[in-house]
Structure 1
Amino acid sequence: MSHRNMLRNTGLCTVVASLAALASAMLLEPRTSALAQDKPEICTRICAGPDLTCSPPWIPTKLGQCWACCRFDDEKLPAPAPSCAPSVGTRIALKADTGRFYKRCRNCQKSRNDSYPDTVTAHGTAATGAAVFTVVDAGGGKVGLKADNGKYVARCNGCIDGAPPDMLTVHATAPSPITFEKQANGKCVLKADNGKYVGRCRGCTPGATVEDVVSIRETDPNKPYVQLEIVIVK
């Protein structure tokens, strides 16, 4: 065999050996990723870009400057990024800029002829009970919010004594369309059927039993009191 052929065969064997070693070491020892500090995982030995896709239960994970497919313990999966487009059937809580939650509040505001006892306020301290709403289909590509009492959140014009004209109440027997929008800072806003934004309104209702009620009067989604964090409730 000529010297040139020997070199060619040696190089080919080196490539084959390297590929075999890579295939046999596809799984790394548990390590810590940037997405899940101090949480054990097993990752594939690849160095991909941020557009990497993985098949469940493997998830894309950043390891230093590389992305790899990693598998976590079920109880140690990184929390999913918050979404401003919760799917129908999802139970959510709406966290205001004060850290309090929107909540159905009975007899907390004086309504016209006492016809609208359930209104939405921003005083809840936990994402439970009357602070939890279910996303429902409102038709036409829109969604609505169903409260814990089985009724739907809706805009109510002239319903609350002394308050701004449009307030958020829980009185509708059919879903009222609401649009979720995401802002550049990652916060979410809710746009009502009148094109205005739902927002916390401090001291806006005379005689209310809580300080922060919820009105629908703002046209600027960048105002902090209309911006929300959507919390998924399991």
Structure 2
Amino acid sequence: MSDLKGKTAIISGGGSGIGKSISTLFASQGVHVHILELNSEASEEVCKEIAADGGSATGHICDIASHQEVNKTIQGIQGNIDIQVNNAGIAHIGNLEGTSEADFDKIFQVNVKGVFNCMQAVIPKMKSQGGGVILNMASVASMVGISDRFAYSMSKGAVLTMTLSVAKDYIKENIRCNCISPARIHTPFVDGFIAKNYPGKEKEMFEALSQTQPIGRMGTPDEVAELALYLCSDKAGFITGTNFPIDGGFVNLNT
């Protein structure tokens, strides 16, 4: 999308999975990408891949759960910040009784406070420059009940409602804010989860998890990245305060 050329984007968790696909796709469209990552090796590798393809990217080691680190990192980025994609997050399996206080606090610090930290740090810059786009990564778990995902669902529900609040409060500042709610996406995390929890039954479990989407398969990180690209482009200039499921029919077609 030519309207993205020359713009600058911050992408948290841009070193792997969905974040990596978003980073590489945005860079291919002429966006200078700033990757916020805890994993320095993953960040460096993605930046090298982007550079090898003629794109431009900068890696920043940053714990998004730290208000101080996020502020320091974002304030240190020179020039406009046109786009912010809050993608970084962690998962947790367990119902209410199976969620310890430590589990709950950890999920909240990364998935909720992390998004808060990043948005609060970037909003003043976007206001001063006359606008910008924020895209948050929620989940179908923010919309429907999913078994054994109590803390994770809580955190993604917060992401959804924070998105709506920011969209409402800053619409007059020309700041658009939307979120994406993926169902199960085939990332290395999914493969690792299956290998760890179902040794010897990897193929069987992969198929079972794929079939939880009515379309009969998992989504791909690239499919999510394409939606993110559109929502962050000027072509989506009339869209704000909206949640976009990308779920193979999971929300509306499951019975």
State the TM-score, normalized to the length of structure 1. Answer: 0.24
State the TM-score, normalized to the length of structure 2. Answer: 0.22
Q: Which structure would you say has the larger Rg?
A: 1
Which structure is higher in helix share?
A: 2
Higher relative contact order (CA 8 A, sep 6+): 2
